[in-house]
Chains A and B, each alone.
Chain A
Amino acid sequence: MISSLDITLGLAVLAVTGLCLIPRSRLVITMGFLALGIVVTMVWLRLDSLDVALAEAAIGTGLLSALMVWLAVRSPEPPGAGGMQPSPRLPWLRPLIGLACGGTLAVVAAAVWFRVDQQLPAWQAGVEDQMPDTGVEHPITGVLLAFRAYDTLLESAILMLTAAAVLALCRGGGLSDPGTHRLGVHQTSAPMPPVPSALPWAARLLAPALMLLGLWLLFAGSAESGGAFQSGAVLAAAFILLRTSHVSLGAATAHWLRPVLVGGVVVFILAGLAGPVLGLPWLSWQPEWAFAAVLGVEVLLTAGIAAGLYTLFLTLENPEGVR
């Protein structure tokens, strides 16, 4: 049964999406995007998908918005609008083709979607049967770190390599400073732009609460909603907030960023190697120590995810180090 709340939410999604696409000012677009994240999170909550809602709120809305706000503040106007200008001779042609393609796609997809005989996932029974082998209680954590641990490992590797890519584009290419073990990326010690004095005060107040929230999401994940990705996003947000409000993180970042970044993936693979060493398949954990393995991997993955997301923010400023 479709309630008026559902209809309102659906219309809100459409309206806010328009706000993200139509305005020319990056600041307005960013605000629209923030609002869209909140509305979409509410849609997920309405669908009883607490885990997706948490992930959407933490990563899709929280962190992505931080990157977009930075971009909007630094360069409010899109540079030269690029390929978005109408063609001089037939200005109506591109919008017309776009509308026709979008309309056709929507009609075809909707027609197919309403006709198909949808099946429930075949893995539900299997997940319930095999949960005791995983060492955790929450089915979503079980899927992420036991049944489909391989996907989670590759996804964590993608985030790690994204951070490697942005570090590579910085001055020094992500190497240490000569003769030291400190990351040679100049942004770690670069000053941030001035901010109102209330922000540092608020950030110092908020940071412990965010840390606590992040850790709660991490440890709750084995029994309830939450987990490494959401927790890592909240922790990264705390670091971003501290850096924006001039709390000095430079020395710690230079020492620890790369080891923390790769630690989760390295330990995940080494823990996965325990299977073949004991004559089992890759990524097998015996029920006796499965919980310890899952928890250890999850803690390090969280740290790696937080470090990866923080790296993306850190390296936004002046990547080539040109004065």
Chain B
Amino acid sequence: MIPVWSALAEFSLGAVVLAPLLAAAVSMLVPLPARRVLGAAVGLLVAGLVVPLVVSVSAGEVPELVLGGFEAPVGIHLRADGLGAVFLAVTALVGLVLTGYAAVLPAAEGRCAGPKGWQQGHPGFWPLWLGCWSGLNAVVVSGDLFNLYVGLELVGLTAVALVALGGRGSWEAALRYLFVAVLGSLLFLAGVGLLVSVTGTLDIAQTREALAEVADPEAPLLALVLMTLGLGMKAALLPMHRWLVPAHSSAPSGVSPILSGLVIKAALVVLLRAWLWAVPLSGGAQSHAAVQWLAWLLGALGAAAVLGGSVLALRQTRLKPLVAYSTVAQIGYWFLAFPLLVSAEHDDALAAGAYGAVIALAAGHAIAKAGLFAAAGLLKDRYGTDEIAALRGAGAHHPALILAMGLCAVGLIGLPVSLGFTGKWQLATAAIGAGQWWLIVVLAAGTLLAAGYLLRGIAPLLLQSEDEPAAAKPVSVRERLGESAVMLLGLATIGTGLLGAWLGDLLGVGAWW
């Protein structure tokens, strides 16, 4: 790799965090139209900055930045390994499209109290969303446990505030989300504190080395339990999911896709960093048995989430809560794979397969769910309701939107060609390799239920309405542009499905094994 390219990757590693943060600060000083322009420009810049990082990682390098030139344990390292590169790229893709979506549709930013009562469009969206993007990138590239906590706080706080932009009705859901997010962060911080007390370092790689020499497994285990509990709350793993549905469904239409698509993935990335990178699982036999027990518990909760979340989604009568319950169900798949990640046989191929499945499912979900939520929000803003019965026949005015929703549904159900399919296929293969047939049953049931609830949500839009909805106002140019943003996400759902093999290679770079 040419040196200029490596230097560019090192620069990008800091810039993907600091450029959106600088833009968030500056955007607070300018009027609303300028905020939209600034947001779109920075979105393009960040997407451009991610390119050298992904190119470097796909060439087998792990770009690393030693901030301030102070080596760990004194300073902080940023790294982009395979996991980091995948989530940087997915965040850039989804973030850029959603930035465009929010810039053209004022209602997507939220509702703001003005001199003439509540009005559409919200200037607060831009500093908060750019700050959130900065936090998401900070979490993904961080190589330091305390810095992970700070990044999680940045993401959590801005996400809560973004929910609250939905007007008075969303404040209660936002407050509940705030309590859960803060409690989750505190539990994670307690785990970090416990790890530092036995290792004396915050750097993730050094923590792993130090823990390999710690004889007593109790402290790392308790730390892992605390972190898992805190991150489980933030990722809304059943039964800690109750905050998600009101928060994600009452948020503005530009915010729900950010929350469901990107924000909960931050908790997943940190959880994987803790389980696979920071705390070595191949410690003593005793600790390994306990970790496996924990992984089985997560697997069982994941199965319950897939089935319970899907059944609850089937019972919804409104579109946005339906999509939110679908998120609860999809979160379950990521946890289903945990028993395979730490199987007793130390089978690296098996663990790699399960790991690839988790990432493919999470990345596929980020794109497809962002698209579906953006579409649901667009319909809700246009027709003033997201009651499925009231939206009957709305598809006649939005053929492209319905097609895009169908493409996203392909990814969420897990049909070929999509990352959802790749992930489920890899998970099933790993499950067969480990002889865990029950996983196949859960996967099949989850897939059927997903097809059911998505059909229930989308099909009525295509039916002929009894009372002719032709009286509805014509679709504006801005709404057409918003629809094309959804279409981009729908096409990306299918397009990324072709990248499954490349994704596997990318994930091997800097992996924990």
Which A residues are within 8 Å of any B CB, using their own CB?
108-109, 111-112, 115-123, 126-127, 130, 133, 146-151, 153-155, 157-158, 160-162, 164-165, 167-176, 258-259, 261-262, 265-266, 269-270, 272-273, 275-276, 280-285, 320-321
CB of A168 within 8 A of CB of B218, answer no
Q: How far is the CA of A111 from the CA of B218 in the complex (A)?
A: 9
A162 to chain B, nearest CB (A): 6
Residue of A nearest to B158 (CB): A161
Please indicate the chain B residues that have their CB under 8 angstroms from the CB of A172 in the complex.
112-115
Q: How far is the CA of A284 from the CA of B147 in the complex (A)?
A: 18
CB of A127 within 8 A of CB of B74, answer yes
Please indicate the chain B residues that have their CB under 8 angstroms from the CB of A121 in the complex.
73, 196, 200-201
CB of B28 within 8 A of CB of A282, answer no
Residue of B nearest to A263 (CB): B25
Please indicate the chain A residues that have their CB under 8 angstroms from the CB of B65 in the complex.
281-282
Q: Looking at the complex, which one of B124, B157, B160, B218 makes contact with A174 (CB distance below 8 Å)?
A: B124
CB of B14 within 8 A of CB of A173, answer no
Consensus secondary structure, chain A interface: helix
Q: Looking at the complex, which one of B76, B113, B199, B214 makes contact with A320 (CB distance below 8 Å)?
A: B113
Please indicate the chain A residues that have their CB under 8 angstroms from the CB of B28 in the complex.
160, 164, 167, 174, 258, 261-262
B179 to chain A, nearest CB (A): 11
Consensus secondary structure, chain B interface: helix
Please give the number of chain B residues whose Cβ is less than 8 angstroms from any Cβ of chain A in the complex.
68
CB of B25 within 8 A of CB of A265, answer yes
Please indicate the chain A residues that have their CB under 8 angstroms from the CB of B98 in the complex.
none
CB of A176 within 8 A of CB of B24, answer no
Residue B253 lies at the interface, judged by CB distance under 8 Å to chain A: no
CB of B25 within 8 A of CB of A160, answer yes
Residue B18 lies at the interface, judged by CB distance under 8 Å to chain A: yes
Given A115-B218, A157-B154, decide whether A321 and B70 contact each other with a Cβ distance below 8 A. Answer: no
Nearest 6 CB-CB pairings of A with B: A168-B124, A165-B161, A282-B14, A119-B200, A126-B74, A122-B200
CB of A108 within 8 A of CB of B157, answer no
CB of A266 within 8 A of CB of B25, answer yes
CB of B67 within 8 A of CB of A150, answer yes
CB of A112 within 8 A of CB of B70, answer no
Q: Looking at the complex, which one of B67, B216, B218 makes contact with A282 (CB distance below 8 Å)?
A: B67
CB of B68 within 8 A of CB of A283, answer yes
A-contacting 9-mer, from B126-134, B320-328, B336-344, B357-365: B126-134
Please indicate the chain B residues that have their CB under 8 angstroms from the CB of A155 in the complex.
150
Q: Looking at the complex, which one of A119, A120, A149, A164 makes contact with B127 (CB distance below 8 Å)?
A: A164
A130 to chain B, nearest CB (A): 6
- Residues 1-41 of chain B: 1 if any A CB is under 8 Å from the residue's CB, otherwise 0? 00000000011011100100110111011011000000000
Please indicate the chain B residues that have their CB under 8 angstroms from the CB of A112 in the complex.
194, 218-219, 222
Please indicate the chain A residues that have their CB under 8 angstroms from the CB of B76 in the complex.
147-148, 150-151
Please indicate the chain A residues that have their CB under 8 angstroms from the CB of B197 in the complex.
116, 118-119
29 A-B residue pairs with Cβ-Cβ distance under 8 Å, sorted by A, are A109-B222, A112-B194, A112-B218, A112-B219, A115-B218, A119-B198, A121-B196, A122-B201, A130-B70, A133-B70, A147-B68, A147-B75, A148-B75, A151-B76, A151-B150, A157-B131, A158-B153, A161-B24, A162-B161, A168-B112, A168-B125, A172-B115, A173-B123, A269-B21, A276-B11, A281-B14, A281-B67, A282-B68, A320-B113
Q: How far is the CA of A108 from the CA of B168 in the complex (A)?
A: 42
Q: How far is the CA of A283 from the CA of B160 in the complex (A)?
A: 29
Please indicate the chain A residues that have their CB under 8 angstroms from the CB of B154 in the complex.
154, 157-158, 161
B72 to chain A, nearest CB (A): 8
CB of A157 within 8 A of CB of B216, answer no
Given A173-B124, A176-B31, decide whether A147 and B113 contact each other with a Cβ distance below 8 A. Answer: no
A255 to chain B, nearest CB (A): 12
Residue B352 lies at the interface, judged by CB distance under 8 Å to chain A: no
- Residues 167-199 of chain B: 1 if any A CB is under 8 Å from the residue's CB, otherwise 0? 010000000000000000000000000101111
Residue B435 lies at the interface, judged by CB distance under 8 Å to chain A: no
B172 to chain A, nearest CB (A): 10
Given contacts A161-B161, A282-B13, 14 further A-B contacts (CB under 8 A): A112-B218, A123-B200, A126-B74, A133-B70, A147-B76, A154-B151, A157-B21, A165-B158, A165-B164, A167-B124, A172-B113, A262-B25, A273-B18, A281-B68
CB of A117 within 8 A of CB of B31, answer no
Residue of A nearest to B18 (CB): A269
Q: How far is the CA of A184 from the CA of B79 in the complex (A)?
A: 42
CB of A266 within 8 A of CB of B67, answer no
CB of A285 within 8 A of CB of B11, answer no
CB of A284 within 8 A of CB of B113, answer no
Please indicate the chain B residues that have their CB under 8 angstroms from the CB of A118 in the complex.
197-198
A285 to chain B, nearest CB (A): 7
Residue of A nearest to B118 (CB): A320
Residue B87 lies at the interface, judged by CB distance under 8 Å to chain A: no
A288 to chain B, nearest CB (A): 14
B137 to chain A, nearest CB (A): 11
CB of B123 within 8 A of CB of A175, answer yes
Please indicate the chain B residues that have their CB under 8 angstroms from the CB of A150 in the complex.
67-68, 76, 147
Please indicate the chain A residues that have their CB under 8 angstroms from the CB of B131 in the complex.
157, 161, 164
A133 to chain B, nearest CB (A): 8
Residue B66 lies at the interface, judged by CB distance under 8 Å to chain A: yes
A128 to chain B, nearest CB (A): 10
- Residues 475-487 of chain B: 1 if any A CB is under 8 Å from the residue's CB, otherwise 0? 0000000000000
CB of B200 within 8 A of CB of A258, answer no
Q: How far is the CA of A276 from the CA of B68 in the complex (A)?
A: 10
Please indicate the chain A residues that have their CB under 8 angstroms from the CB of B115 in the complex.
171-172
A289 to chain B, nearest CB (A): 14
Given A146-B68, A155-B150, decide whether A262 and B124 contact each other with a Cβ distance below 8 A. Answer: no
Q: How far is the CA of A108 from the CA of B219 in the complex (A)?
A: 10
A9 to chain B, nearest CB (A): 21
Residue B165 lies at the interface, judged by CB distance under 8 Å to chain A: yes
